[in-house]
Structure 1
Amino acid sequence: MIERIDTATRMSKIVKHNGTVYLCGQVGAGDTVADQTRDCLGRIEALLAKAGSSPKHILQAIVWVADMADFDEMNAVWDAWVPEGEAPARACGEAKLARPDLKVEIIITAAVAE
């Protein structure tokens, strides 16, 4: 069974299927990549909780930064947020994001907490 949560015309914020949670790409508010990453991760935590999961259940993260010069700043926030010993598989690349003010977008796949 597929469960879609917070569904609109274009996308669902959360899709659950066979014990796996898929989140739509998340961005954050703020002037710096650190601020946007922190806000983005807070949004991810809230969506994971709504889906019955948590950061320690993340299977994969795909991180897009608008400029790889911000890689270290984004990673400092990410590294402090990821539960110790629970780092997911992760990819990070540079991409032009949907709006020029956006510096980071994160896409998450997680397991439902048991």
Structure 2
Amino acid sequence: MTITRIETGARMSKIVKHNGVAYLCGQVGAGESVADQTKDCLSRVEALLTTAGSSNEQILQAIVWLADMDDFAEMNAVWDAWVPKGAAPARACGEAKLARPELKVEIIVTAAFDV
């Protein structure tokens, strides 16, 4: 059994790869609005997917945490434009208190990669 950990620190790895699946750590973004933070967050997700040998077409599951569910539609507008047509992953979205007060969205992704 091979487990590959990428950008590993004392607390976590940014990517863990095992058996054709890449698990990404939660990503947050910069910006004032939910839309700005979501765009930045998805840009970071995309960079990690590329590092893992994957893409947004290979996402299996996404978990989205919002600091306020009133921002659901604004986040979805950015998400819907980013997800390739026909490649929508299984997804859950909920409200949670995030790590810092200025954060509005966090996204956790699991994706397939070519072995």
Which bin holds the TM-score, normalised by the shorter protein?
over 0.9
- Secondary structure in 2 aligned to 1:109? strand
When normalised by structure 2's length, the TM-score is 0.98
Counterpart residue number, 1:31: 32
Unaligned ranges ≥5, structure 2: none
CA distance, structure 1, for counterparts of residue 107 and residue 28 of structure 2: 7
Percent identity between the two aligned chains = 76
- Secondary structure in 2 aligned to 1:55? coil
CA distance, structure 2, for counterparts of residue 25 and residue 45 of structure 1: 12
RMSD: 0.7
Counterpart residue number, 1:113: 114
- Secondary structure in 2 aligned to 1:50? helix
Runs of 4+ in 1 over 4 A off after TM superposition: none
CA-to-aligned-CA distance 1:68-95 (integer Å, 9 cap, x gap): 0000000000000000000000000000
Q: Measure how far apart 1:10 and its partner are.
A: 0.4
Pairwise mapping of residues 34-45 of structure 1 onto structure 2 (< 5 A)?
34-45=35-46
Unaligned ranges ≥5, structure 1: none
Task: Assess if the C-alpha contact under 8 Å between 1:54 and 1:113 holds in 2.
Answer: no
Pairwise mapping of residues 73-84 of structure 1 onto structure 2 (< 5 A)?
73-84=74-85
When normalised by structure 1's length, the TM-score is 0.99
Matched residue count: 114
